[in-house]
Amino acid sequence: MTNPTSSGRLSMRLGYRFNLVGMSALGIILLWAGIALFAPQIIPHSVGEIVDTDYFGPVSRDLWFGSDYLGRDIFSRILMGARYTLGISLAAVSIACFSGVALGMTAAVAGGWFDSMLSRFLDALNSIPSKLFGLVVVAAVGSSIPALIATLSVIYTPGAYRFARALAVNVNTMDFMVVARIRGERLPYLIASEILPNILGPVLADLGLRFVFIVLLLSGLSFLGLGVQPPYADWGALVRENIGGLPFGAPAVIFPSLAIASLTISVNLLIDNLPSRIRDRSAE
């Protein structure tokens, strides 16, 4: 069965459809980014204000997404939450994946002692329970958004490193790497021009997943006292604080969950649909 579409890049028709999926994913991400930027101007109610005497109230003309466990407007809280979820997660995932992947490729190419030492160090880092780690950070530097981003990055760097290194080690044994080495290319060139293009697909997929994990862990660390301070809340925290409404099917727990899902699915679909283009280029 030698269907030309099997390589996933020969068919224009399929390529177009991918782009459509990718475009809509990008559209949703940009929409959330816009909301994050202009949230303070567009929220109908103040984030902390109790506007409903009832709790877990239904969707209504005034409260578009219902009310939360205290009777606050969930719509406004989600719009403001976009700032924290989007901002912090993007920052943390960028730092974690950039450092993890850069170190992973370097370790794979350099090998030897550097590889061993770095791998052990990051293994050790990964073995410290994240709760203990979070508490230590609060105790040491106090609570702030930069501290939260730093903590999330540190927690997710070892995983990104390990995965990137595993990929890079395989590429490192390829013939073109041997050739490049013989040519006398230096380390930065090797990792940037030879390794990276060949592992980009899986690395980006890994980044997409790490983004999801960070979005979810963010609220957990906030509850430890690290990061977003009430009355503001990220989306994960909104789900968490309104989880009591789940048996009632309260909009207060459903809408933040949908917000998370829309963002994380969009990020991953976008990533899935990017590589075909990038790969097309790199193969030519």
Partner 1 sequence: MRGQVSSLVARRLIIALITLVIVSFAVFFATTLLPGDTATILLGQSATPEAVEGLRKAMHLDDPAIIRFLRWIAGLVQGDFGKSYANNVPVATLISGRFVNTMKLAGLTAVIAVPLALTLGITAAMWRGTLYDRIVTVGTIGIISVPEFMIATLAVLLFAVYLKWLPALSLTNEVKSLHDLVRIYAMPVMTLTFGVSAQMIRMTRAAVVETLNTPYVEMALLKGASRPRLVLRHALPNALGPIINAVALSLSYLLGGVIIVETIFNYPGVAKLMVDAVSTRDLPLIQTCAMIFCLGYLALITAADIIAVLSNPRLR
Partner 2 sequence: MSDTTNWSCSDDAMIENAIRRGASRRDLLKLMLANGVAMAAAGTIFGRASEAVAATPVKGGALKAAAWSSSTADTLDPAKASLSTDYVRCCSFYNRLTFLDQTGVPQMELAESIESGDAKTWTIKLKKGVSFHNGKELGADDVIFSLKRHLDKATGSKVAAIASQMTDFKAVDKTTVEVTLASPNADLPTILSMHHFMIVADGTTDFSSGNGTGAFKCKQFTPGERSIGVRNPNYFKGGPNVDSFEFFAIPDENARINALLSGDIHLAASINPRSVRLLDGKDGFALSTTTSGTYTDLNIRMDMAPGNVSDFVEGMKYVVNREQIVKSALRGFGVVGNDQPVSPANVYHNAALKPKTFDPDKAKFHFQKAGVLGQTIEVITSEAPGSAIDMAMIIQASAAQIGMKLDMKRVPSDGYWSNYWLKAPIHFGNINPRPTPDILFSLLYKSDAPWNESRFVSEKFDKMLLEARGSLDQAKRREMYNEMQVLVSEQAGTIIPAYISNVDAITAKLKGLQPNPLGGMMGYAFAEYVWLTA
Please give the residue ranges that form the binding site for partner 1 (CB under 8 A): 1-3, 5-8, 14, 18, 21, 116, 120-121, 123-129, 131-133, 135-136, 139-140, 159, 162-163, 166-167, 169-170, 173, 198-199, 201-202, 204-206, 208-209, 212-213, 215-216, 219, 236, 239-240, 243, 246-247, 253, 257, 260-261, 264-265, 268-269, 272, 275, 279, 283
264's contact among partner 2, partner 1, none, with CB below 5 to 8 A by partner kind, is: partner 1
Supply the minimum distance, in Å, between the C-beta of residue 229 and partner 2. Answer: 6
Supply the minimum distance, in Å, between the C-beta of residue 56 and partner 2. Answer: 7
Cβ closest to partner 1, residue 57 vs residue 159: 159
Tokens, residue 149 = 């981003």
229's contact among partner 1, partner 2, none, with CB below 5 to 8 A by partner kind, is: partner 2
Cβ closest to partner 2, residue 92 vs residue 138: 138
216's contact among partner 1, partner 2, none, with CB below 5 to 8 A by partner kind, is: partner 1
Cα separation, 3 vs 6, in Å, equals 6
| Positions in the binding site for partner 2 (CB under 8 A) | 46, 48-50, 53, 55-56, 69-72, 135, 138, 143, 223-226, 229-231, 243-248
126's contact among partner 1, partner 2, none, with CB below 5 to 8 A by partner kind, is: partner 1
225's contact among partner 1, partner 2, none, with CB below 5 to 8 A by partner kind, is: partner 2
Supply the minimum distance, in Å, between the C-beta of residue 53 and partner 2. Answer: 7
Supply the minimum distance, in Å, between the C-beta of residue 214 and partner 2. Answer: 20
Supply the minimum distance, in Å, between the C-beta of residue 284 and partner 1. Answer: 12
Length of the chain measured in residues: 284
162's contact among partner 1, partner 2, none, with CB below 5 to 8 A by partner kind, is: partner 1
Q: Would you give the DSSP letter of residue 184?
A: T
Cα separation, 81 vs 208, in Å, equals 20
Strand partners, 67: 73
